[in-house]
A and B are shown apart, each in its own frame.
Chain A
Amino acid sequence: GAVVSQHPSWVICKSGTSVKIECRSLDFQATTMFWYRQFPKQSLMLMATSNEGSKATYEQGVEKDKFLINHASLTLSTLTVTSAHPEDSSFYICSARDLRAEAFFGQGTRLTVV
């Protein structure tokens, strides 16, 4: 199957700082990427849909000014958590669709805000 690479796999940052997470489709072009968040012992919750060359679509309750999404190319989407707080600590996962519309997931990024 197609490969989606997410970086970094884990990050620790201080409260108030910003963190950028990258999601790359390595062997296919992805016009659409998705960002999910997963808290401990819970299921994945969709945060936003990232469309190449246009603004992201955010799910209800997700602050677009806090979770900045950029999808500047067909192989890269980034999620920036701005002014991070401890409650933003979570497992962030990206997903990309290939031309067959099948979804492939990155390995996830564990963010810890201290």
Chain B
Amino acid sequence: DAKTTQPPSMDCAEGRAANLPCNHSTISGNEYVYWYRQIHSQGPQYIIHGLKNNETNEMASLIITEDRKSSTLILPHATLRDTAVYYCIVRVGGGNAGNMLTFGGGTRLMVKP
């Protein structure tokens, strides 16, 4: 699985959009970009994933650059409860491929009042 690079920490004001970047310059054509977050002392929570098109769900939006070497997770209106460590993971998706998730250091997002 391709390696990802994320800033170790970020701050965001409550109510503002939080934009979390991720670099994955060695991503392969069949690898998806996944985002998970981990709130303190809890298991990781799935947020969103995508292959090459931008994706949006009730939690967030995922913007993937055209060359797929980087992506941005957007939390449109951050709340205090969004304070967590956000992990960007690249792996082969679907079927029996891409079994486990390999976690890097993630970005510690602190949402401030």
Contacts and interface: CB of A to CB of B under 8 A. Distances in A.
B21 interface: no
Give the size category of A's interface with B: 20 to 34
A13 interface: no
A104 B46 contact: yes
Contacts, number: 55
Contacts of B99: 32, 34, 49, 97, 101
Contact of B43 (A1, A6, A49): A6
Q: Is the interface of B mostly helix, strand, loop or mixed?
A: loop
Q: Is the interface of A mostly helix, strand, loop or mixed?
A: strand
A62 interface: no
A105 B95 contact: no
B93 A101 contact: yes
Contacts of A102: 46
B94 A101 contact: yes
B46 A101 contact: no
Contact of A91 (B41, B101, B102, B105): B41
Contacts of A110: 41
A107 B41 CA distance: 8
Interface of A: 1, 4, 6, 32, 34, 36, 43-46, 49, 91, 93-95, 97, 100-108, 110
